[in-house]
Chain A
Amino acid sequence: MVWQREDRFSFEIFSKKHKAIMILFMFFFCVLSVRLFYMQIIRGNHYQAISERQRLHTTRERAPRGIIYDSSGRPMVGNDYTYMILFQPFRQDAAPPECAIAELSEILNQDVSQAIARSMRSGRSVTIAKNLTRKEMFRVQEKTLSLSGITVAKEPQRLSRHPRINSHVTGYVSQINRAELDRLRDEGWRLGDQIGRIGIEGRANRYLRGIDGGRQLVVDVRGRPVQAFQHIAPQIGSSIHTTINLDLQIAAYEALQNTSTRRGAVVAIDPRTGAVRALVSSPGFDADNFSRDFIRNRQNPDLPLFNRALAGRYAPGSTFKIIPFVAALEVLNHNPAVRHRCTGSFQLGDRYFGCWFREGHGNVNFLQSMALSCNIYYYHLALELGVSNIERFARKFHLDQLTGIDIPGEQRGFIPNPEWKRQRKRTRWLSGDTLIFSIGQGATLVTPLQMASLTATVANRGIARKPFVIQTIVDACGNVEFEATPRYKEPVELADRTWDLLKQSLVDAVEQGTAWRTRFPNMRVAAKTGTAQNPHGENHAWLIAYAPADNPQLAVAVLVENAGGGGIIATPIARRIFEVYFNLE
């Protein structure tokens, strides 16, 4: 082969160069093929994932939290739905038109351009408006075509049946904060989620929380929805059946509201199981609007956010006399017939210790001392027992421990002793300290829940159960996820005679003593009043009671802050509770 009009040599030179160029071209094709193989076969899934991500716009639909029921199946906390508007920037270079923003601002009665501008800058979706009315929601929904990037989302909101009454049992929800988010991200919590705080909401977050759903739309490059891709319906959280009796709860709260200070707590426990039938702290707060009312509640001198039933620590007053009573029988084998004379005051050294009844009870025997709540008799017992025996029995009744209730926020009681006084106050424990210790004054502190738990233990003749609120947890499909089982504390082992005499004395307190206002014609009630002196003003009124005395079904502790004597203030509340619970009258 030779070129026309040229020699063979020049063609051969060309042939060599032609070959080199062919090799260069082959090299190019190899590079392109290898790159193609790399991109489509090796990295194909990676690119496919990106492609899916940018074409699917997911709107999260928050799942409603589970419903909280009372013991007879009436809802205490449920859900309501509100609508909110989200803005999702798709392309940071294609801002929505001015007129569309102005129109949206007009519908919502607020300027949204700032929020949209912020969203465009950050590239994140932003909630423009919350708590929309239905009318506003429909007006915005009509406009979504012209307002690219706008989504209307349905948002479940917690709704309490009786927000103030149940607030301290059920608790409240609020938005998850940064620290919690860092801790709980692995469990699927996300920014903007509602998390339960105190009470049952706080305790059972894991169950109450549902599974969020979502709607995925196929969007084009401008962010306009093209078609629906899939919709996963949100799944409601597990519902909780509590042991609370709603009627009892309402009655207790209303009774507390009728007192002079309106501050107090009621705890009612079924001694047979430990189920809490009522747990009320007054005043309550509006659990549905916790965030809105937060500042007001914080500034309220009545401390509505403070759960008095679980965390309020008060001197037990005369209700504490149960302890020296049983200690005297157990340790001293005290003869109930022994009488002491009450003149209204008692002299120890150069100090005088009074009885609440200034005129004096005269000669009182052991059972009468409890029924009449005569302090003088207990001063005598205290001197005979000594501080260590009283302290030992107070601890035996678990007064220094947490009750172990299944909702958070409980405080521990406090039982003083000489050791503590030496360390803390740097002074010696005096005999006078023993005297006031025996009548529940001084440094002793208990919570209403503890006293209710102690009453239940007394009603059970020593069997101590931990109180609980959550009976069962049932998931959305009806499967039982949790069922409460009785949990015991160390039983209080006393002689039968002691239990008999204690019961007799408590019944006497109702039949012929200070707690006579809780007397019912056809039911025997056992009760003990208490009047706790305190440095904050008027006395706290206490009452612990259980009924029926022979077959206890309800143990109650009532506390009213700074309202006066237990016999006058606290007994009507307990009476009301028994009326409602046992359907009396």
Chain B
Amino acid sequence: MRLANNTNVSRRRLNRQSFWARIFFSIDWIMLAAAAALVTISLFAVHSATFVHQNPVRFVGRQAAAAIAGVIAMIFFASFNYQFYKRLWAYIYGASIALLASVLIFGTVVNNARRWINFHFFSFQPVEVAKIMFIIAIAAYLDNKRKEMRNISTLFAATCILLGHFALIMLQPAFSSTLVYFPILIILFYANGADVFHLFCIITFGALALGIPLANTFFTLYAASGQTSGLMSFLISATSIPNGIYILIGIIILIILAWWFLKKLRLRIPAVYIVALIFTIIAGCIASVAVEGSIREYQRRRLIVFLNPGIDPLGSGFNTLQSKITLGSGGLLGRGFLNGTQTQLGFLPEHHTDYIFSVIGEEGGFAMSMLTLFLYAVFIWRAMLIAQNSRDRFGSLLAMGICVMFMFHAVINIGMVMGIMPTAGIPLLMVSYGGSSMFSSLCAIGILMSIQLRRYTH
């Protein structure tokens, strides 16, 4: 906000200064410092996480190499004018599709999933870069359609842009990687002025399509763990086909009755809303059948078991339980660098990638994990200011899309570690071990800087 108020003063000052000095004073050093601190924390955490079971020098070395490559790319993207993307968005989108398709053709299979392209001396996860390309594409598309945001067709077309990526990623399969696409799309819709009722329908649709199969899985697991009750068996039947239909009809009748009742109270709601809502609910329920078929049983379990990991403590709930124990046992000041028993004895699974935040929490305690969270908050706050101070709508939407990407990676990952979010294998950007995500996050920061640096040029 202060940036905005001081605009005139700073602009005058900038005009008097040399080119390099102008660049130096335009760069958001607070954001960069937060990012640099996060990368530093990442190197230490990866060292600790791989200390016993892997070779820490190799892992930290790779992470550092990815960070250095990322910084070079960041400088490149910062100097590159982001406004070119706007014209090239269709090509960028095409390239991203080609990238995702190539992983299906040339990718190597790890754990039954084809997610990596192996270049012998390093391997690369295209989905991380594809996310940023998707953000560029969707920001450009929405910028073009800014006058038609209240049309359903615009939303529908934008959703189709997403579905291209979604389908290719689901073929890998990497279901959890797609999770972050949806908040990006919905928040950009909202920021670009889409009708709130439309967004409500989209969210309802998504919640029903995904929620019904997950609820069914959860109730079945719950019953299998021996805690059966009448309510449970009712809930299982209510979320499966024959009884679910009766309940659906009942809900629709209730909505119509409520609408009629409100109408009697002189509270007129256009009938089109009710029809759209009912249509959405029915569509969501039908889609849930398709979703149930497309997500595998183990994935569904993983996604829902966080609600009560005790119902499957050695199976799908193991990771959540151990991660909570790991994070919680850190206490205020932690158990000391390389002294976390959960991490070093291997109780915490995937400790250098998805559960890196637990490692920080165990060995650094509340102090370090809160610092990490705080640095993330500072970083996103500064990035959001860039979105507000951008020169044009495209820059704002692009910066905001990148913010949402960072934010939802953090929320889903840290939430998963804390046991309040589904177990989805998505990394904590800039902190988790993984060259591709580190590299692509730094590229994204480069794009943010590019938007930041060009905020006054007309």
Give chain A's interface residues, CB within 8 Å of chain B.
1, 3-6, 10, 13-15, 17-18, 20-22, 25, 28-29, 31-33, 35-37, 39-41, 43-48, 50-52, 54-55, 91-93, 218-222, 226
Excluding A21-B191, A35-B418, A51-B341, 12 further A-B contacts by CB distance (< 8 Å) are A3-B396, A6-B393, A18-B191, A21-B384, A32-B410, A32-B414, A32-B415, A36-B366, A41-B331, A44-B332, A51-B347, A91-B314
Q: Which of B213-221, B229-237, B321-329 lies at the interface with chain A?
A: B321-329
Given contacts A40-B327, A50-B325, contact A29 B377 (CB under 8 A): yes
Find A21's partner among B187, B329, B345, B393 (CB 8 Å cutoff): B187
Instruction: Answer whether residue B254 sits at the interface, using C-beta atoms and an 8 A cutoff.
Output: no
The smallest beta-carbon distance between A229 and chain B, in angstroms, is 10
Instruction: Answer whether residue B304 sits at the interface, using C-beta atoms and an 8 A cutoff.
Output: no
Which B residues from 384 to 431 make CB contacts under 8 A with A?
384, 387-393, 396, 400, 403, 407, 410-411, 414-415, 418, 420
Q: Evaluate contact between A14 and B191: CB separation under 8 angstroms.
A: yes
Q: Evaluate contact between A51 and B392: CB separation under 8 angstroms.
A: no
Instruction: Answer whether residue B342 sits at the interface, using C-beta atoms and an 8 A cutoff.
Output: yes
Q: Evaluate contact between A40 and B407: CB separation under 8 angstroms.
A: no
The smallest beta-carbon distance between A515 and chain B, in angstroms, is 76
> Please, how many angstroms separate the alpha-carbon atoms of A21 and B330 in the complex?
32
Write the chain B residue with the least CB distance to A56: B341
Given contacts A18-B387, A40-B330, A51-B341, contact A3 B346 (CB under 8 A): no
Q: Evaluate contact between A218 and B345: CB separation under 8 angstroms.
A: yes
The smallest beta-carbon distance between A94 and chain B, in angstroms, is 10
Q: Evaluate contact between B332 and A3: CB separation under 8 angstroms.
A: no
Of A10, A25, A44, most B-chain CB atoms within 10 Å? A25
> Please, how many angstroms separate the alpha-carbon atoms of A17 and B314 in the complex?
44
Find A54's partner among B193, B347, B366, B410 (CB 8 Å cutoff): B347
> Please, how many angstroms separate the alpha-carbon atoms of A10 and B418 in the complex?
40
Instruction: Answer whether residue B361 sits at the interface, using C-beta atoms and an 8 A cutoff.
Output: yes
The interface residues of chain A lying within 8 Å CB-to-CB of B458 are 4
Of A44, A51, A91, most B-chain CB atoms within 10 Å? A51
The interface residues of chain B lying within 8 Å CB-to-CB of A13 are 193
Instruction: Answer whether residue B17 sits at the interface, using C-beta atoms and an 8 A cutoff.
Output: no
The smallest beta-carbon distance between A76 and chain B, in angstroms, is 48
Q: Evaluate contact between B389 and A50: CB separation under 8 angstroms.
A: no
Find B393's partner among A14, A51, A52 (CB 8 Å cutoff): A14
> Please, how many angstroms separate the alpha-carbon atoms of A583 and B38 in the complex?
92
The interface residues of chain B lying within 8 Å CB-to-CB of A41 are 331-332, 366
Q: Evaluate contact between B400 and A4: CB separation under 8 angstroms.
A: no
> Please, how many angstroms separate the alpha-carbon atoms of A18 and B400 in the complex?
9
> Please, how many angstroms separate the alpha-carbon atoms of A46 and B420 in the complex?
18
In the assembled complex, 6 residue pairs joining A and B whose CB atoms fall closer than 8 Å, in A order, are: A14-B192, A25-B407, A32-B410, A37-B370, A47-B327, A55-B347
Q: Evaluate contact between B384 and A39: CB separation under 8 angstroms.
A: no
The smallest beta-carbon distance between B225 and chain A, in angstroms, is 14
Q: Evaluate contact between A3 and B392: CB separation under 8 angstroms.
A: yes
> Please, how many angstroms separate the alpha-carbon atoms of A256 and B357 in the complex?
79
Given contacts A18-B191, A21-B190, A91-B314, contact A39 B345 (CB under 8 A): no
Q: Evaluate contact between A17 and B190: CB separation under 8 angstroms.
A: yes
Find A55's partner among B345, B373, B388, B420 (CB 8 Å cutoff): B345
> Please, how many angstroms separate the alpha-carbon atoms of A20 and B196 in the complex?
13
The interface residues of chain B lying within 8 Å CB-to-CB of A1 are 4, 7, 389
The interface residues of chain A lying within 8 Å CB-to-CB of B400 are 18, 21
The interface residues of chain A lying within 8 Å CB-to-CB of B346 are 220-222
> Please, how many angstroms separate the alpha-carbon atoms of A31 and B373 in the complex?
11
Which secondary structure dominates chain A's binding surface? helix
Q: Evaluate contact between B345 and A219: CB separation under 8 angstroms.
A: yes
The interface residues of chain B lying within 8 Å CB-to-CB of A219 are 345
Write the chain A residue with the least CB distance to B407: A25
Q: Evaluate contact between B388 and A226: CB separation under 8 angstroms.
A: no
Q: Evaluate contact between B328 and A93: CB separation under 8 angstroms.
A: no
Q: Evaluate contact between B369 and A40: CB separation under 8 angstroms.
A: yes
Given contacts A3-B396, A21-B190, A22-B384, contact A43 B328 (CB under 8 A): yes
The smallest beta-carbon distance between A224 and chain B, in angstroms, is 9
The 3 A-B residue pairs whose C-beta atoms are closest, nearest first, are A47-B328, A44-B331, A51-B329
Given contacts A29-B373, A220-B345, contact A50 B329 (CB under 8 A): yes
Write the chain A residue with the least CB distance to B393: A3
Instruction: Answer whether residue B365 sits at the interface, using C-beta atoms and an 8 A cutoff.
Output: yes
Q: Evaluate contact between B384 and A25: CB separation under 8 angstroms.
A: yes
Given contacts A25-B380, A32-B418, A41-B366, contact A48 B347 (CB under 8 A): no
The interface residues of chain A lying within 8 Å CB-to-CB of B327 are 36, 39-40, 47
Which B residues from 151 to 189 make CB contacts under 8 A with A?
187
The interface residues of chain A lying within 8 Å CB-to-CB of B190 are 17, 20-21
The interface residues of chain A lying within 8 Å CB-to-CB of B393 are 3, 6, 10, 14
> Please, how many angstroms separate the alpha-carbon atoms of A22 and B325 in the complex?
32
Q: Evaluate contact between A47 and B324: CB separation under 8 angstroms.
A: yes
> Please, how many angstroms separate the alpha-carbon atoms of A21 and B411 in the complex?
14
Q: Evaluate contact between A36 and B345: CB separation under 8 angstroms.
A: no
The smallest beta-carbon distance between B142 and chain A, in angstroms, is 12
The interface residues of chain A lying within 8 Å CB-to-CB of B192 are 14
> Please, how many angstroms separate the alpha-carbon atoms of A52 and B335 in the complex?
12
The interface residues of chain A lying within 8 Å CB-to-CB of B331 are 40-41, 44-45, 48
The interface residues of chain A lying within 8 Å CB-to-CB of B415 are 32, 35
The smallest beta-carbon distance between B394 and chain A, in angstroms, is 9
Given contacts A37-B366, A41-B366, A220-B345, contact A51 B391 (CB under 8 A): no
Write the chain B residue with the least CB distance to A92: B314
Write the chain A residue with the least CB distance to B146: A10
> Please, how many angstroms separate the alpha-carbon atoms of A17 and B186 in the complex?
12
Find B384's partner among A4, A18, A36, A93 (CB 8 Å cutoff): A18
> Please, how many angstroms separate the alpha-carbon atoms of A28 and B373 in the complex?
11
Find B342's partner among A5, A40, A51 (CB 8 Å cutoff): A51
The smallest beta-carbon distance between B405 and chain A, in angstroms, is 12
The smallest beta-carbon distance between A282 and chain B, in angstroms, is 58
Q: Evaluate contact between A36 and B329: CB separation under 8 angstroms.
A: no
> Please, how many angstroms separate the alpha-carbon atoms of A337 and B324 in the complex?
100
> Please, how many angstroms separate the alpha-carbon atoms of A139 and B392 in the complex?
78
> Please, how many angstroms separate the alpha-carbon atoms of A219 and B325 in the complex?
16
The interface residues of chain A lying within 8 Å CB-to-CB of B373 are 29, 32-33, 36
> Please, how many angstroms separate the alpha-carbon atoms of A18 and B387 in the complex?
8
The smallest beta-carbon distance between A434 and chain B, in angstroms, is 74
> Please, how many angstroms separate the alpha-carbon atoms of A40 and B333 in the complex?
9
Q: Evaluate contact between B392 and A44: CB separation under 8 angstroms.
A: no
Find B370's partner among A36, A45, A46, A220 (CB 8 Å cutoff): A36
> Please, how many angstroms separate the alpha-carbon atoms of A55 and B403 in the complex?
40
The interface residues of chain B lying within 8 Å CB-to-CB of A45 are 331
Write the chain A residue with the least CB distance to B345: A220
Write the chain A residue with the least CB distance to B361: A40
The interface residues of chain A lying within 8 Å CB-to-CB of B410 are 32
The interface residues of chain B lying within 8 Å CB-to-CB of A52 are 341
The smallest beta-carbon distance between B413 and chain A, in angstroms, is 10
Q: Evaluate contact between B411 and A32: CB separation under 8 angstroms.
A: yes
Find A39's partner among B328, B377, B396 (CB 8 Å cutoff): B328
The interface residues of chain A lying within 8 Å CB-to-CB of B403 are 25
Given contacts A21-B187, A25-B380, A46-B328, contact A15 B388 (CB under 8 A): yes
The interface residues of chain A lying within 8 Å CB-to-CB of B191 are 14, 17-18, 21
The interface residues of chain B lying within 8 Å CB-to-CB of A32 are 373, 410-411, 414-415, 418
The smallest beta-carbon distance between A223 and chain B, in angstroms, is 10
> Please, how many angstroms separate the alpha-carbon atoms of A4 and B394 in the complex?
10
Q: Evaluate contact between B388 and A18: CB separation under 8 angstroms.
A: yes
The interface residues of chain A lying within 8 Å CB-to-CB of B396 are 3, 14, 18
> Please, how many angstroms separate the alpha-carbon atoms of A28 and B376 in the complex?
12
